[in-house]
Structure 1
Amino acid sequence: MQCRFRQDTLRCDVLDRSYPTPAEAAGCSPAWEGRLALRPEGAVALPCSGAAVRNDEAFVLGYGARWIVPGISCESEEAGLRCTNAAGHGFQASRSKLDLF
């Protein structure tokens, strides 16, 4: 998974996943590519399209570490990446599972 914070939005791409496309993204055409978007307020969005955030030179958030940007915090765990906004919405994503809350 790779993420980037820009223009008040955290964008993450799940690069390798084994779970099916979530119902919220089932209508994407072409198929949903694992994109997540989270702003400081509001629910997680699953964009159908947009530029990939992949950057192989970006820093890696190690297990047990936290990344905080304005209005959003993310924690890296062996179970996946968990990001939550100031309104309490967010996601936990891994190769095998995606939970939106």
Structure 2
Amino acid sequence: MKTLIALCIFAAATGARADGYGFRTPSGNIYCNGSLAGGAQGSSDISCSIVERGGPPAWPDPGNCPGVWGHHFDLGSTGPARVVCGPAPRKSTYTDVAPYGETGNFGDITCQSEKTGLTCRNRSGNGFFLSRRSQRVF
């Protein structure tokens, strides 16, 4: 996660271009991709996927998802988190790992990795919690 924090500091200092990042939880069951846009009008976003999950999906299946439902989550700088349709996720091979107990700031989004799961929240207070046992959007 320290690598990710350093990346965010670097990205914030580089101006108006967008920079991307990716990380996984220690189990490899949750992985995230995001981007940071610099400058005064900058924003950030993150997309996280959970490979193995249990319980009901955070949102009901809309019935028109040609992929898998309940495994992919998107969050922007402001506004609500979303559950999105996507391909079947596979275990991540990302080398950047968010150790349990660490918090990373990605522009307007903060993610905290805990043994109980991953929580990401934006500056509006919206976000999601992902764990093998349950997934929530708030």
> Normalising by the residue count of structure 1, what TM-score does the alignment of the two structures yield?
0.84
Residue 19 (structure 1) shift: 1.9
1:44-76 superposed Cα distances (whole Å, 9 cap, x missing partner): 1111137x6975133110111011101000011
Alpha-carbon distance in 1 for matches of 2:96, 2:67: 30
Structure 1 residue 20, shift from structure 2 partner: 2.4
Letter in 1 for 2:130: A
Of Structure 1 and Structure 2, which has the larger fraction of its residues in strand?
A: 2
1:76 pairs, out of 90, 100, 113, with: 113
Identify, as 1 or 2, the structure richer in helix: 2
User: Aligned equivalents of 2:133 and 2:49: distance in 1?
Assistant: 14
Equivalent residue runs for 1:1-101 within 5 Å = 1-6=30-35, 8-27=44-63, 28-32=65-69, 34-49=71-86, 55-101=92-138
**Percent identity of paired positions between Structure 1 and Structure 2:** 27
Report which of the two structures shows the higher radius of gyration computed on alpha carbons: 2
**Gaps spanning 5+ residues in structure 2: where?**
1-29, 37-43
Given that 1:81 and 1:94 are in contact with CA atoms closer than 8 Å, whether structure 2 keeps it comes out as yes
**33-42 vs 81-90, greater mean Cα deviation:** 33-42
TM-score of the aligned structures, taking structure 2 as reference length: 0.64
Q: For residues 14-41 of structure 1, give each alpha carbon's deviation from its aligned partner in whole angstroms, at most 9, with x where no partner exists.
A: 0111122333444323331500000010
CA RMSD of aligned residues (A): 2.3
Stretches of structure 1 that go unaligned for 5 or more consecutive residues are none
